[in-house]
Amino acid sequence: MNRGFFCDLDGTLADNMEIMFSVYQEFLRGFYLSPTPEEFALLNGPPLPQVVSVLKERHGLGGSLEGLVKTYQEILDASYMRAKPSPGASEILEAAKRSGMFIAIVTSSSYQRTLAWLDRNGLESVIDLIVSGGDCEGKPSPEPYKMALAKLRCSAEQSIAVEDSLQGIQSALSAQLRTFCYSSGPLRIAVPKTVSTITHFGELATFIPQLADRRDAAASNV
């Protein structure tokens, strides 16, 4: 079985939480509503149609869900590509790739938007798989990570996941992955005790050779 390095995109690999919050603000203000950081935090993780559905119901937004999702996407597309990789993220992905790990982006974002962002930031060549919001049941279901494990023939015991949202963490943990919570600022979610928190991707460097050592030890015992 292969080893996997699985990473969320928004707020994790991509340093774009300020952009995502501004998109959420602009969308709600278009309906003369007041956005809050607390509501935004609760909506971080699920696919966009689910997020907009919650906003529609909670705030009584008029119009069809399809039309509201389109409006949200247009606002998002106008600013999404400005985001840069999180500090140390590009380097750790390249190091994981060199160590023989398979790299997957497991995201609630669309495949097209994810691929365009990776290409813009020179990361497409190190990515083996994108599991996007439309591929299966979204986070917090374990299905996105189970799909990544299956498609890349990776062992959950020899793989890691990096997330920034509670829904994403629940998804990865439910798929039996060792999970890390990335937070570039103050931690705003209650992280399970089994999850380690990192503030810089470079902190993951020590886990790459450790995973390799564990795999080699397992093989020698066969």
Could you read off the pLDDT of 90-123 as tens digits, one per residue?
999 999 999 999 999 999 999 999 999 999 999 9
Could you read off the pLDDT of 31-71 as tens digits, one per residue?
999 999 999 988 888 889 999 999 999 999 999 999 999 99
What are the b/e assignments for 57-79, b being 16+ CB within 10 Å?
Answer: eeeebeeeeeebbebbbebbeee
Q: Is 29 exposed, middle or buried (0-12, 13-18, 19+ CB in 10 A)?
A: exposed
Helices (H) and strands (E) counted in the chain, each on its own, are 9, 8
Of the pLDDT bands very low, low, confident and very high (cuts 50, 70, 90), residue 134 is: confident
Q: Read off the pLDDT of each residue in 21-26 and give the average, rounded to a whole number.
A: 96
Q: How far is it, in rounded angstroms, from Cα 80 to Cα 25?
A: 14
Q: How far is it, in rounded angstroms, from Cα 125 to Cα 209?
A: 22
Q: How far is it, in rounded angstroms, from Cα 210 to Cα 72?
A: 42
Provide the mean pLDDT of the chain: 92
pLDDT for res 212: 53
Residue 175: closest CA among 221, 131, 126, 219:
131
Which tops the pLDDT comparison, 136 or 187? Answer: 136
Q: How far is it, in rounded angstroms, from Cα 164 to Cα 7?
A: 10
Q: Read off the pLDDT of each residue in 196-215 and give the average, rounded to a whole number.
A: 79
> 41 near 21, Cβ under 8 Å?
no
Q: What is the pTM of this model?
A: 0.87
pLDDT for res 213: 53
pLDDT at 208 over 90: no
